[in-house]
Amino acid sequence: MPSGALLFDLPDYPHERWTAHLRKFLPTLDIRATADAQTAADIAYCVAWKPAPGKLHNLPNLKIVFSMGAGVDGIVADPTYPRHIPLARVVDDTLAQAMSEYVVLSVLYWHRRLHDFIGLQRDKKWRQLPAPRAPQVRVGILGFGVLGQAATAPLRALNYQLSGWSATPKHVDGVKTFHGTAQLEVFLAQSDILVCLLPLTPDTRGILDAKTFAALPKDACVINAARGGHVVEDDLIKALDSGHLGGATLDVFSAEPLPATSPLWSHPKVVMTAHSAAFTDPESFMRQVATTIRRMDDGLPPENLVDFARGY
C-alpha cells in the first residue's frame, strides 16, 4: 500500500489515459493532477518532464521523482531541484526499440542516398546513384549508453562498421569503442555517419560544433536524436554549406517547436522530425513507476537513478 499521493505533473499529456495504466498496476494509489499549498505535503511521488522551476522544491514530503523521458535535462536544469530526492529516468525496451528504428532509418537514408533520389524525383531526373555496401560505411555513435548500444543490434545485422564513444570504457561485441575527450577526435575521424545519443549536460552542450564537424571525414552525415542543445546550429549550417558535411537529420532543436524563422526548416541538406524519434510508452512507463513505488515500499532501492554529479 503506497504511503503518500502521486502528483502527475504532465499538464500537456492526457491525464486520464496515462494514469489509467498506473491505476491498473497500483489500484489504491492516490493520484493527483495538481498540488497547492494545502495539499503539497500529501505528495510522496511525482511524475514530471519539465516541471516549473521551484515546483518540486515545494513538495516537503517528496520521496522520488520519475522523469517521463530518458533525458532528464529538463528537470536537473532547475537549480532548486532538491538533490537529496532521487530522480528515476525511463530505461525501457519500447523506447530503445523506437530509437533503434529511428537510427536505422536515418543511417540508411544517408547511406543509400535517398535524399539525392528525392531531389532527382522532384526534378523529374532519371539518374542511377551508386552507394557503398554497408560493410564499407562507418557509423559512430556519440553517447554509447542504453539507447546507443541498443541501436547497434539492427545496425550490426546490416553489417555496418560500428563504433561508440562514451565517458567510461565499454566492451560490446563487434563495436570499436572509444571513451573520454582524449579519444574523441580519433573516433570522429572514422565516423562516416555520426549518431548523437548523448545526454545534455554542461560537458556535452554544444559538442556538435565547428571543431567536431571539421574532425569528421568529408561528406559525413550527422544524425542528432539527443537534444538540440548539443548542436551549434550556425556551425552546422556552415559545415553543410561549405560542402564538408553531406547532410543532417535533426529530431531535436535548441528551441522547440522550432521557430518559423529558423533556416533549418528549408535547408536543402537537412531532414527534420519534430522531437519524435522515440516516445515514452505510457503503459510501459507506468509499469516502471509502479514497480519502483512497490520496491521503495518494500525497503528496496529504486532503479535507474540519475547521478546528479554527472547530470544524467
Q: Which residues bind ligand NDP (CB under 6 A)?
A: 69-71, 95, 99, 143-148, 165-168, 197-201, 203-204, 225-227, 251-252, 275, 277-278, 312
In the annotation, is 244 catalytic? no
For the chain, the farthest-separated pair of C-alpha atoms sits apart, in whole angstroms, at 69
Catalytic residue among 112, 205, 275, 287: 275
In contact, 72 and 306? CB cutoff 8 Å: yes
Q: Is 231 in the site for ligand OXD (CB under 6 A)?
A: no
In contact, 147 and 278? CB cutoff 8 Å: yes
Place of cell 553517447: 143
Which CB, 106 or 163, lies closer to ligand OXD?
106
Which CB, 161 or 249, lies closer to ligand NDP?
249
In the annotation, is 275 catalytic? yes
**Residue (of 68, 88, 94, 74) closest to 199 by Cα position:** 74
Q: Which does 145 bind (CB under 5 to 8 A by kind): ligand OXD, ligand NDP, none?
A: ligand NDP
Which CB, 1 or 255, lies closer to ligand NDP?
255
CA distance linking residue 59 with residue 242, whole number of Å? 51
Q: Is 86 in the site for ligand OXD (CB under 6 A)?
A: no
Min CB(279)–ligand NDP separation in Å? 7
Q: Is 70 in the site for ligand OXD (CB under 6 A)?
A: yes
Q: Is 69 in the site for ligand OXD (CB under 6 A)?
A: yes
Stretch that binds ligand OXD, among 63-71, 117-125, 169-177, 185-193 (CB under 6 A): 63-71
Q: Which does 146 bind (CB under 5 to 8 A by kind): ligand NDP, ligand OXD, none?
A: ligand NDP
Min CB(184)–ligand OXD separation in Å? 23
Min CB(160)–ligand NDP separation in Å? 19
Catalytic residue list: 227, 275
Give the residues lining the site for ligand OXD (CB under 6 A). Answer: 69-71, 90, 280
